[in-house]
Chains A and B, each alone.
Chain A
């Protein structure tokens, strides 16, 4: 028992470190990718090619003046940024970065918690993110954040559905909510080949859930100045930022587990590279995809975003479930 706790604590620390590193260098990647897409270099002067930029950013945010809006509801105002970081950290526990590892003759499973309802847990926890943004938008007692909070409430509730419905297809095929089982099912063929519609719907919904362009309406800077975090400064702002990037990372990680074969190598001759490395590479590829989208597309309008969700994505995912169900039944009947 003591051994188990010790191992779990060590795993927690390592995964947390990986996540924070990923987030820190995710911000740098964002700026570098944006720079190169836009014909410029991005951060360049802090360390060679700007590699120390995340540290400098962190320091800067720590030392910035912490301004509290005078008319704010203080309790919720302080609670919101803290809440923003919690959901991605909770999801971290179920990410199947690899199957197991053998150290000193002992087999240690790599996921922190290999639970049977992992998918449900993921959906449940991510839907908590909306509270951070809503409370952040509302508690500042300011008009632009309010509009941002308003938008995000509608956006989250709608795209939550798409996210859930898109995963159902996967669950039906695999017959399990367990992420490790889902990854193992993909040993021979990744699920995005069997479930392309679900994969696309998941990615769209994930980007919308993350408030990333082209769905970054809650913080649309050209309309709402800063959106829900207009009234936040210093580390409170940084926490929102941290939450957003951590969310990006865990969303990419979950997508990797669900659709991109988790820790399996794309071809068998590449399997000498350890599984966790593959997992991180795939996660980063999806992360990069999100950056790429952001710097290519304009932003949708609020009503158009809702229209897209209810008129197109939800019917499409429902049909996907219907189709998957038919296939599953036909296969079962055929046997």
Chain B
């Protein structure tokens, strides 16, 4: 890899090791040169996009105990590089090199207690100020240090200092109709104009990453449903693909197609909620109910397939749980036929509506450069004019077999993001039409029994056989054992790039599972989008970023 050779030339001994696993390159460097290496990679090698930054606890008996992992991307060549530094607790900050690192570093500080030297405001990201300990450390018990304590007086952030006299601090949320859950915003106002804004997250933090370390690979799956609870199949897919990459397996064609059907339905469902709530924030209450009516039909479809409407947990390692029911495809076709009309109805109410236009055009602008610097992904990035879609950039899960178009905005304002998402729904429908037309026959699972549970009739009843029983037993009692290694797998979720970074130590439970949640990272760009705008634009901007707090808070 060109960048690795360049690094070795430029930094020689500071590069401690280069390893390769499943096509991913990891470079270990000494912490002293971290900033120089990062600047070199950004400026000389074009790694302008920091995908993810996270901490890892290598074990209480190891020195240095922690490592910090940086995942970098060159958006032109599509190369990815993982940078790793080992440390005993102090690392230089890179939040001035990539502003998106700001919250990532706060999270690593929160969860591991790693100190980032030079960080502008190193405070806990998720947990209350008076929380004891750092939960993702390996010696932190799962139930916490004080399992009986249920109140934290300190809150997350109680007071901010006004930047100039005669301003008013307005607390918006966590209970507020338009923060889409439990997001909290502190706004500094001068009249109705926003001088400063601080988004505060963590009110829904459940510690998914910690929980995952105590569960087998199969058991983690239901946890992922609860991240972006408006599009659970996308989360399932991202996680399952990461595990499959770790195992080095792929599902059969029919399994892939079924997954794509589920995921694209999830995109439509998620965008419908966004459309409804976004319109309601701006005062168009009727669109909200139209969008919910359509989403209901998708939930009925999901119920047919998975039995559950909300949290399906339908994908399995190596395929899906069971085949589609017979009446599913006709029902899906019916939905696809009716959907454009319903979408046009919403379109007619909004797109050419004068009031909608003045409320969204030129509001909450995020420039192309800022979008990349702040690590924005998904419709937010595309709305800012960057043609970047993981389905095209790194075709995963069989997306290379489908033709679709990636809508891109121009000005990066709310209206562009609105248009991008509206078009994405239509494109998802195109993909679904193709999937329905070309749905192959055949098995839905790779080697059932080895990675996935054997069919129920082979375990119980007349057709039961001893081999299936043994497989079932092993999988339930022990789980799947992937090889040692680390992988990062991302999917284009409705909200943006949803990535799972899994470190396996060969045991049936992930050693470390890191979730790169797009909502959280997109939200970080909110303050720069709304500075100087009016209070009413805050809700417009939050709606146009399309956050879901289950994913923001993990």
Contact = CB atoms under 8 A, between A and B. Distances in A.
Interface of A: 34, 37-40, 143-144, 147, 150-151, 213-214, 216-217, 220-225, 295-304
Contacts of B192: 147, 150-151, 302-303
B358 to A, nearest CB: 6
Interface string B259-292: 0000000000000000000011111111001100
Looking at chain B's contact residues, the main secondary structure is: helix
B293 interface: yes
A213 B283 contact: yes
A300 B358 contact: yes
21 contacts: A37-B286, A38-B285, A38-B286, A39-B289, A143-B168, A143-B170, A147-B535, A213-B283, A220-B536, A222-B178, A222-B282, A223-B538, A225-B176, A298-B355, A299-B282, A299-B355, A300-B358, A301-B359, A301-B537, A302-B536, A303-B534
B286 A296 contact: yes
Contacts of A297: 283-284, 353, 355
Contacts of B283: 213-214, 216, 220, 222, 297-299
B299 interface: no
Contact of A38 (B177, B290, B358, B536): B290
A298 B283 CA distance: 4
Contact of A222 (B281, B289, B293, B349): B281
A161 B192 CA distance: 23
B355 A225 contact: no
A223 B536 contact: yes
Contacts of A143: 168, 170-171
A40 B349 CA distance: 18
A300 B359 contact: yes
B247 interface: no
Contacts of A40: 289
The residue in A37, A40, A217, A298 that gathers the most chain B C-beta atoms within 10 A of its C-beta is A298
A34 B358 CA distance: 24
A298 B359 contact: yes
Given A298-B284, A299-B355, 8 more contacts: A34-B285, A40-B289, A144-B170, A214-B355, A221-B177, A223-B539, A298-B359, A299-B283
B356 interface: yes
B350 interface: yes
A213 B284 CA distance: 9
A302 B533 CA distance: 11
A301 B170 CA distance: 18
Nearest to B535: A223
A306 to B, nearest CB: 11
A216 B535 CA distance: 15
Nearest to B277: A222
Interface footprint category on B: 20 to 34
Nearest to A37: B286
Nearest to B187: A143
Interface in B288-336: 289-290, 293
A296 B349 contact: yes
A178 B426 CA distance: 58
B284 to A, nearest CB: 4
A292 to B, nearest CB: 11
Interface of B: 168, 170-171, 176-178, 191-192, 279-286, 289-290, 293, 349-350, 353, 355-356, 358-359, 534-539
A321 to B, nearest CB: 26
A252 to B, nearest CB: 22
Nearest to B345: A39
Contacts of B285: 34, 38, 295
Nearest to B354: A297
Nearest to B537: A301
A224 B178 CA distance: 9
Nearest to B538: A223
A143 B189 CA distance: 11
B286 A223 contact: no
A298 B290 contact: no
A194 B86 CA distance: 83
A300 B534 contact: no
7 closest Cβ pairs, A-B complex: A299-B283, A38-B289, A298-B284, A222-B178, A298-B283, A298-B282, A222-B281
A81 B534 CA distance: 28
A302 B358 contact: no
A222 B355 contact: no
A298 B356 contact: yes
A304 B284 contact: no
A222 B536 CA distance: 8
Contacts of A221: 177
Contacts of A151: 192
A302 B534 CA distance: 8
Contacts of A39: 289-290, 293
A63 B171 CA distance: 31
B470 to A, nearest CB: 54
The residue in A39, A221, A222 that gathers the most chain B C-beta atoms within 10 A of its C-beta is A222
The residue in B192, B290, B537 that gathers the most chain A C-beta atoms within 10 A of its C-beta is B192
B534 A222 contact: no
B384 to A, nearest CB: 22
B345 to A, nearest CB: 10
A214 B170 CA distance: 24
Contacts of B286: 34, 37-38, 295-296
Contacts of B537: 301
A37 B286 CA distance: 7
A34 B281 CA distance: 17
A221 B168 CA distance: 20
A223 B539 CA distance: 7
Contacts of A298: 279, 282-284, 350, 353, 355-356, 359
A87 B192 CA distance: 29
Nearest to B350: A298
Nearest to B191: A150
A223 B178 CA distance: 7
A214 to B, nearest CB: 6
Contacts of B358: 300-301, 304
A174 B406 CA distance: 62
A49 to B, nearest CB: 19
Nearest to A307: B358
A138 B78 CA distance: 56
A221 B288 CA distance: 15
Contacts of B171: 143
B338 to A, nearest CB: 14
Contacts of B281: 222
Contacts of A144: 170
A297 B356 CA distance: 8
A3 B289 CA distance: 56
A293 to B, nearest CB: 11
A222 B359 contact: no
A213 B282 CA distance: 11
Contacts of A147: 170, 192, 535
A214 B358 CA distance: 13
Contacts of B355: 214, 297-300
B194 to A, nearest CB: 12
Contacts of A216: 283
A273 to B, nearest CB: 34
A115 to B, nearest CB: 39
Nearest to A151: B192
B314 to A, nearest CB: 29
A38 B276 CA distance: 12
B169 to A, nearest CB: 9
A177 B282 CA distance: 40
A300 B358 CA distance: 8
